[in-house]
Amino acid sequence: MSSRRGTPTGSICSNSAVTGEIRLQGIPAAPGVVVGRIRILCKARMSEAVQPRRPAYGNLPRVNDNREAHGTGEGVNSALATLSDAVEATRTDIKQTMERLAQRTTTGEEAEILATHLLVLDDPEFIGHIKHEIRDNKRDPHEAVVIAAEAIARELEALEDEYLKARAQDIRDVAERVLSHLDIGPGAPCQDAATCLDFGPGTVVVAEDLGPYDIMRFPPENVIGFVTEKGSATSHSAILARGLGFPSVVGAVGITAVATGLEGKSILLDGDTGVVLLNPSPVSLESYGPRIEESAKRRSQGSLHLQSRERRVVTADGVTIEIAANVGSMQDAKLAAQVGANGIGLLRTELLFVGRDSEPTEDEQYEALANIVSIMPERRTVIRTLDAGGDKKIPYIDLSPEGNPFLGTRGIRLTLAHPAIFKRQLRAILRAACHGRVAVMFPMVATVEEVRQAKSLVREAREELRRAGFKVPDIEVGIMIEVPCAALIADILAREVDFFSIGTNDLVQYVLAVDRLNPRVSPMYQPLHPALVRLIQRTVEAAHEAGIWVGMCGEMAGDISATELLVGLGLDELSVAVSSIENIREVISKISSGSARELARRCLQCSSETEVRALLSRGGPCSSFP
Ligand code: PEP
Ligand code: MG
């Protein structure tokens, strides 16, 4: 049987008289196969439960429509008071959910999401924007929340920074939570559909979409999985499902329409492949039997950690290349573990510092880093020290405006200029090293003195910790090669450190004098320019001559059209976005290191990017990939 994604197949005359199996293809979100009874959780059902007075969150009123402004001064005050009650109720609600979660076996990530939600509730921009809508645009509280949240979420989505982009979902989740408290008012019997509806044993929830709160409130003894129309494998819902161990499928387009009328009927969902079978046939049930049993066993053992074993990546002729992940959060790190990455090749620590009013304490940093390191303790986690400056501003670190910030106080220059901040981070990193295999890496290095100063601060931090009674393991110390002069003196720098990681995102912009953020010059941003190929080769050679390893963590490492060249140039590790890991592995498995070296040799003789590209697109193993 075959079906395209979202296209149901099977014999449906009317849903209430279904005789055959209906198959839908969605996106696998959390592994495991379950068979249960359909329970539809749709907007109508939610509204029955919570009786909202306003349209659903998604139905956004337009800011400049010509609605009559409502609200006198008194009305405004009462609306502000209503808002304040709902915000406080939301805060209590989130804290209670955190307490309940603490009693369940989870990965800890759920609590992290909720902690972020508490920060959103305290965010003066978020609350200020809602109040502005009430006060100045005479919106009622419900509309004000929707308008403010949507405006901020869209602004975040427009940003380059992936982490900040993903914060849009937090804003929307919190807004939904506040709305639910506005809608039901104090003293209402229940707070959301998931707690109001009773779920019988063996329930598979079918919904258009589910927020984190819905999922966290599913009674684990009765709800065994869920399927949604919307969502992606990296949405909060999917992350939570993996953490809480609910096999689930998201993005199953058409599921709610198809399931309507089938409430209580049988449904099979395969969270490994994304297949959903409504009214599964005896043949399907039989063929899925062993996997259903296996999932049930895993659930009963409470084995919610879905970390897969590290996967070795070798070329067709047996040369091992490490494929590590670039991560910025606990979520990313868990996904990396789940795809069997050979470690974390770049942990960007800026994310611990942005979006707050003051520097995280050493303990806060230690906890966050230790949590990430503990995910794959036996595989290496390369923690990059704070790479602020340039386009990454941190309001509480004194940075007077610079005419050309990308050429200003960035990366290691900034941390060396603020040794107290740097030391606190280094101490946190050294302490986190007790939880796994850690390496520290300095960004934007241009001179040997910078490396020596940074290393001496590492030594000081280590001594301080030892004196304070901490056990501090030895860790590898490395640098990013992302400034042209560093590549040119790679042989000198190689004597000072344990490894290099080539940051092509910056190296390209500095070598070619092309701002990486300026769309007007983006055609000139050419990672395959012969100058880059030569600098990479020079860096790799210098590293190997000094007996240290060399990786690449810029975006070029994840570009499959460049993989054969990079293998041929001799890189030991490619650190890429989690979503690219599988593709890169597949490409590498078809490469022969001998022909890759030959390809690299020829690329080094090219006189232009066009020539390099032409060579790369000529036949090699990469040509069979999109
Ligand atoms: C790079 O410059 O290639 C890199 C990985 O660092 P970032 O993108 O964080 O500047
Ligand atoms: Mg960089």
Each residue's pLDDT tens digit, 278-323 = 999 999 999 999 888 887 876 665 433 444 567 889 999 999 999 9
| DSSP 8-class letter at 85 | H
Distance CA 569, CA 596 (A): 8
Residue 293 parent element (H or E):
helix 282-300
Buried b (16+ CB within 10 A) or exposed e, 108-145: ebbbbbbebbeebbebeebbebbbebbbeebbbbbbbb
Atom of ligand 1 nearest to the CA of 556: 3
Atom 7 (ligand 1) nearest CA = 505
Name residue, tokens 């004098």.
513
Q: 338-376 pLDDT, tens per residue?
A: 889 999 999 999 888 887 889 999 999 999 999 999 999
State what percent of residues in the chain have pLDDT above 90: 49
Q: What angle, 0 to 180 degrees and rounded to 10, lies between the N-to-C axes of helices 330-338 and 109-121?
A: 160
**Tokens at residue 119, please?**
């920060």
Asked if residues 111 and 95 have their Cβ atoms less than 8 Å apart, the reply is no
Q: What is the arithmetic mean of pLDDT over 543-553?
A: 98
Distance CA 155, CA 132 (A): 17
Q: 36-79 pLDDT, tens per residue?
A: 999 988 643 433 333 333 433 444 443 334 344 445 677 888 88
Q: For residue 14, give the nearest of 261, 268, 254, 256 by alpha carbon.
A: 261
pLDDT above 60: residue 105: no
**Tokens at residue 219, please?**
């009674």
- What is the reported pTM? 0.58
Average pLDDT of the residues of the chain: 83
For residue 439, give the amino acid letter. A
Q: What angle, 0 to 180 degrees and rounded to 10, lies between the N-to-C axes of helices 124-135 and 109-121?
A: 40
Ligand 1 center to 518 CA (angstroms): 16
Q: Is 190 annotated as catalytic?
A: no
Least confident of 194-203, 398-407, 586-595: 194-203
Among 327, 332, 349, 387, the mutation site with the greatest number of ligand 1 atoms within 8 A of its Cβ is 387
Task: Please tell me which residue in 117, 181, 236, 529 is annotated as part of the active site.
Answer: 236
What order do you get walking across the sheet with 266-270 strand by strand? Answer: 22-25, 275-278, 266-270, 33-41, 203-207, 223-228, 248-250, 27-30
* Category of 264 on φ-ψ map: left (φ > 0), alpha (ψ -120 to 50) or beta: left
Atom of ligand 1 nearest to the CA of 390: 10
Q: 476-485 pLDDT, tens per residue?
A: 999 999 999 9
CA distances (Å), 341 to each of 35, 78, 576, 587, in order? 31, 54, 10, 15
| CA atoms within 13 A of residue 434's CA, in its CB half-sphere | 11
